[in-house]
Amino acid sequence: MMTVSVGDFLKSHDIKPSYQRVKIYEFLKNSKEHPTVEVIYSALNPEIPTLSKTTVYNTLKVFIDKGIAMAITIDEREVRFDAEIRMHGHFKCYKCHQVYDFEMADQTADVEALDGFQIMERQVFYYGLCDHCNQKLEEVEKQ
């Protein structure tokens, strides 16, 4: 198993690895929850008391420009972020509001309606009840 430091990883993507950038990337990479700016800021603020929310916004914009993160607009009200940039779908539970990843077959070829279009990005959002919340609902209905 080969390990590359976050600093080297950022450098290899033409991003100067400042203290804040390293911490923000580490948090995003280790997070499974697709955090918002607010969540990232609140999580890192205790450790970096001088952190500014503007820095979180700026840094995420840099990550996206350099291709090591993506924005997820599955919520109407707030943008979430993801350090996993391989193609995958997102499911949002109406009840617990969690956002789950799911694997997806690449169905680019399926879309003959888009002949001549150059597809550069794909977002697939599903909504409903996650297995956990769905389970609880069924138990209630059984009564």
Q: Residues 94, 128: contact at Cβ < 8 Å?
A: yes
For residue 48, what are the contacts with CB-CB under 8 A and spacing of at least 6?
A: 19, 20, 23
114 lies in the site for Zn ion, by CB under 5 A: no
Among 11, 12, 32, 102, interactor with its own copies by CB under 8 A: 102
Q: Residues 79, 73: contact at Cβ < 8 Å?
A: yes
Q: Residues 70, 85: contact at Cβ < 8 Å?
A: yes
Q: Residues 80, 69: contact at Cβ < 8 Å?
A: no
Among 21, 34, 90, 92, interactor with DNA by CB under 7 A: 21
Q: Residues 70, 90: contact at Cβ < 8 Å?
A: no
54 lies in the site for its own copies, by CB under 8 A: no
The number of C-alpha atoms within 13 Å of 42 and in the hemisphere containing its C-beta is 5
Among 28, 51, 93, 130, interactor with DNA by CB under 7 A: 51
Q: x/- contact string, 58-97, with DNA (CB under 7 A)?
A: xx-x--------------xxxx------------------
Residues 98-117 that bind Mn ion (CB under 5 A): 101
Instruction: Tell me which of its own copies, Mn ion, DNA, none is bound by residue 117, counting a contact when its beta carbon lies within the kind-specific cut-off of 5 to 8 angstroms.
Output: its own copies
The burial class, CB within 10 Å (0-12 / 13-18 / 19+), for 34 is buried
Residues engaged in binding its own copies (CB under 8 A): 71, 73-76, 79, 89, 91, 94, 100, 102-105, 107, 110-111, 113-131, 134-135
Residues engaged in binding DNA (CB under 7 A): 15-16, 18-21, 36-38, 48, 50-55, 57-59, 61, 76-79
